[in-house]
Structure formats: structure tokens, C-alpha cells
Amino acid sequence: TTSFGIEEALSQLGLKEINNGTSTGSANFGSGETIASYSPVDGSLIGKVVTTSPEDYDKVMETATTAFKQWRTIPAPQRGEIVRQFGNKLRELKEPLGKLVSFEMGKSYQEGLGEVQEMIDICDFAVGLSRQLHGLTMHSERPGHRMYEQYHPLGVVGIISAFNFPVAVWSWNTALAWVCGDVCVWKPSEKTPLTGVACQNIIAEILKENNMPEGISCLINGDYKVGELMTHDKRIPLVSATGSIRMGKIVAQAVAARLGKSLLELGGNNAIIVTPDADIKMTVIGAVFGAVGTAGQRCTSTRRLIIHESIYDQVKDAITKAYAQIRIGNPLDQHNHVGPLIDTDAVNNYLNALEEAKKEGGTILIEGGVLEGEGYESGCYVKPAIVEAKNSFKIVQEETFAPILYLLKYSGGIENALDQQNGVVQGLSSAIMTNNLREAEHFLSANGSDCGIANVNIGTSGAEIGGAFGGEKETGGGRESGSDAWKVYMRRQTNTINYTTELPLAQGIKFDL
């Protein structure tokens, strides 16, 4: 692990002695089993983390609940000041943290840096927001009455995040939750526990410097069993979970059974529609980055290209040429575009999907396969593949977290492309490539894309933090990050004040005593 300055990055992030995985801030502890984090880059052991036992969890919840009582009384702009300092620290540590993300998760170093940039951006957003947690004022129907609403902190927010954006998704939740006056308990993916410890170290130091209670940010570690402690816990009014649809259904049901709130960010099956009026050069850049970026492990990754038959061959040729340029290898080497998949299970899912696609009648346009030999010893490096397929294939209907792109054909008008695009259970991101105003507006209309994100002349991935991020249908309906996504982290209270000496009833009801 001495290559590419990983040792140095680990020490800059305070991860020289990683032996803990449960933290209420300055206090690191944990008495559960140990999990090891291996890098998919070279298969090496990066570190070990002690998981959170049910007893540890109770200790965490006690600390978090106590911290909440203090944190919620601190004026929101002062909470924003803490988030501002956190964002600044991330600016300082952007390189080592980006590097660790790349090494532990396998995405390219550029994308690792991009992920830390998303963290910095959401901090800036949250700092501004800390002065804008606005409610409305309404006109009361009764004389001498004032009616308005205010947003209050919610409590302990539970965050379950996925390996693919091991740090950014946590920060989208925490930066907002903190300015909203909530405290956070985070369970990172058991596949990327060290980036979790690194982030916790950063915020813990800032809280300490500011004499703030450590329980504002807590870290717990382990597999789904540790997550279940949170989903069943009445002390957690909101659970924000990112991951598979299967996981999301389990989380949603557990949280709903106690009438808690859940914010779900689940699978995508994102398509780009390529119409006869598309700019082919832009289409290729958007589609290739969308399909092979992060080795196809973004929830916004492009999985389907829905191409008009009149330009099908032209697009197919252009994409094939572009795929020939893709360099696969160590993601810390900036010459490479595509790094490894997260682990060998993911490699098997990728291989199975290609097998299934073939069985269902798909034509392999660009052959996949696992890379072997020097530099590929971890067994996690795969070749981005392209399959000519049909939307009705069972495998095309599923999200396979790997660089597999399905080419689909449509004929006639845009509505036929939309039938295919919307004809899946997921509803996260979507895009159209066209210079035709009618097509673009149709795509964005109520008859158009049914996804939470719909882009024109942009690919499906790479959303900015300023917009609300999330999707419909089995993607789970949650919205995170920008716009008014903050509202889910607060409770709304309607207040009516009577400043007269009478007590008139609403709706004109008479009740004379």
C-alpha cells in the first residue's frame, strides 16, 4: 500500500492506528466483531474496524440524545458556523480524503476528489441555509389572530450509506441535518468503513475545538444487523438510507411499522434517449462517462441507451470507437478511466448479468470479462461491456451495479422512446439528447420522463448538489441535498396566536356558554 501516497494520506487523516469503529466523537470504542477493509485496487488490507455491539449502540444513542438537547437550542446560524469550519477542513484534507475514497472504494482519484468537492459544496449550501430555514405566514380567518409556521429540529437522524459514494452521501445528510439542529448517527457501508472513520475524525475534532457535545456526530459500524438497531429504534425519528431496492423495502417497512420517517435513495435504471436530432459527439461523452464512470457503480450510472433507429448504427459505431479508448487499471493512476468493482461478489453479479443478457437473446457488442495479470491481482477489474438488448429482458429491467450498457432501439416518435424509458420499476435519473425543442419539452412535460432527475443534453450522472437529488417509484421517493430537501430533517409546527379579548372559533362555529 505504499504506492500513490496512501500511507501518507492515512496518516494525514489520523488513521495510523485504526482499531475502532464506534464513536460518539472524541471517544472511540466498540466491542463487536472486527471487520477488515481490503482495497479492491490491489487487494491489500487497509485496516480493521471493531463493529458496534447492541450495548455500544445504546451508549451511542444516549450520547446522541443528550447532545440533541443542547444542539437544538443553539441558533441555526451558529450551527452553520460549525458546518462552515467542517467544509474548510475538508478543503484542507481534500487530497488525502479523495485518495482514501479512491483506494478503499476503487473509483478514480479524480472522482474521489469530486466526491470530496460535493461534500465541500453541500457545506457551503448548508451554511447559507442556516439563515434561511423559512416557514410561511398565513392570514388567519379570525380577527386579531396571527398564524404562521416554524420549523423545529427533529432529533437523532440515522444515516445508512452505501459503498459507492462512501462520504458524499453522508455529508448531504449531515450538513443539512446539523444546521437544522439534528444530531446524526451514521452507519457507513461495511465495505468502506475507513472513509467513515476518517470523516468522523474530522468532524469530531471540530466539535471539540468548539466545545460542542461530541454526540452531534456519531459513527456505528457493521452490517445490516447494526442498521436494524436504528430502523427499529423509536428514538430515531428519521432514517435516511441509500442502497438497493431490496434493502430499502426492508428499511421502509421497519421504520413505517413504528410510524417513523424514512428518506430512501434506492436503485436507478437510468436511460439516455438519443433522438435523430441529437449531437452525436455530446451523446458519446455523456453516455460513456455515465456507463463506465465509477465502473458503473453510481445510482445515476447510465444503463440504457434508447436510440432512434434512423441513427442507431451511427451511434453504435461512435460508442464502439470510444470504448476502444478506455483504459482500465489502478484508479490512483490518473491515466486510467476505470478502476475495479468493489469486490468479487460484484464481479460475479456482473458476469451473471452478461450471461443472462445473452440467454435472453442479447447480442454482445463489446465483450466483457475479468482482467487478469499484472496490476489486476485483486480480481475486481472488469471490462466495460455493451449489449444490444430489448427493454423487456428481465436483466435489462434490473439494476446491475457494473459497467454494462444496454443498447435499445426505438422507432417513430419520442413517446415510443419514453415508453421504454419509463417502462422499468426504478425512477431516478433520465436524459434526452436532442436539439429539437419539441422533443426536449415533451420529455420534460407531465407526459415525459417519470424520474426525479430529467436532463437535456447532459448524461444521467453527475448531478450538482444545488438541486434536490432522488427519484420516484422503487427508487424510494426521497430527496436529498439541495432545493428544499432540508425540510425532511425538521418538524413543522403551525402556530396561531390570538391577541384579542374574544375567543372566536374557526369555521364560524358558535359555542355560547
| Neighbouring-strand partners of residue 385 | 404
Cα separation, 357 vs 352, in Å, equals 9
**C-beta of 51 vs 242, nearer to ligand UN1:** 242
Nearer to ligand UN1, 89 or 298 (CB): 298
The answer to whether the CB of 460 falls within 8 A of the CB of 431 is: yes
* DSSP codes joined into one string, 36-64: EEE-TTT--EEEEEEPPPHHHHHHHHHHH
C-alpha cell at 289: 462517462
By beta-carbon proximity to ligand UN1, the closer residue of 165 and 381 is 165
| Helix, strand, or coil (residue 275) | coil
Pairing of strands 426-427, 472-473: antiparallel
Query: Which one of the listed residues 265, 399, 474, 480 is annotated catalytic?
Result: 265
Burial 191-218 (b: 16+ CB within 10 A, else e): bbbbbbbbbbbbbbbbbeeeebbbbbbb
Minimum gap (Å) between residue 261 Cβ and ligand UN1:
20
Which residue's CB atom is positioned nearest to ligand UN1?
463
Q: At residue 17, what are phi and psi to the nearest 5 degrees?
A: -120, 85
Least distance between ligand UN1 and beta carbon 300 (Å) = 4
Q: Count CA atoms closer than 13 A to 271's CA, side-chain side.
A: 33
244 or 422: whose CB is closer to ligand UN1? 244
How far apart are CB 299 and ligand UN1 at their closest, in Å?
A: 4
Residue 33 is among the residues annotated as catalytic for this protein: no
Residue nearer to ligand UN1 on the CB measure, 298 or 473: 298
Contact 216, 178 (CB under 8 A): yes
Under the phi-then-psi rule, with left for phi > 0, alpha for psi from -120 to 50, and beta for the rest, what region is 369? left
Nearer to ligand UN1, 169 or 185 (CB): 169
CB-nearer residue toward ligand UN1: 105 or 396 = 105
Q: Check residue 245 and report its DSSP letter.
A: H
C-alpha pair distances (Å), 272 with each of 265, 277, 291 = 20, 13, 10
What's the CA angle centered on 467, arms 91 and 298, to 5 degrees?
Answer: 75
CA–CA distance, 23 with 331 (Å, rounded to integer): 30
Of the pair 77, 462, the CB lying nearest ligand UN1 is at 462
d(CA 133, CA 150): 8
Helices (H) and strands (E) in the chain, counts: 15, 23
> For residue 491, which amino acid is it?
R
Q: How far is the CB of 165 from ligand UN1 (least distance, A)?
A: 4
Q: If we measure between CA atoms, which residue out of 268, 292, 275, 310 comes closest to residue 430? A: 268
In the complex with ligand UN1, which residue's Cβ is closer, 103 or 289? 289
Minimal distance, residue 398 CB to ligand UN1, in Å: 16
Residues 6+ apart with CB under 8 A from 318: 280, 281, 283, 284
Binding site for ligand UN1 (CB under 6 A): 118, 164-165, 169, 242, 298-300, 461-463
Other CB atoms within 10 A of residue 11 CB = 11
We find the least distance from the C-beta atom of residue 190 to ligand UN1, in angstroms, to be: 17
DSSP secondary structure letter of residue 296: G
Which residues 6+ apart lie within 8 Å of 225 measured at CB?
none
Report whether 437 contacts 445 (CB < 8 A): no
Cell of 404: 454494462
In the complex, what is the shortest distance from the CB of residue 294 to ligand UN1, in angstroms, rounded to a whole number? 7
CA distance linking residue 151 with residue 180, whole number of Å = 8
Residues forming the active site: 265
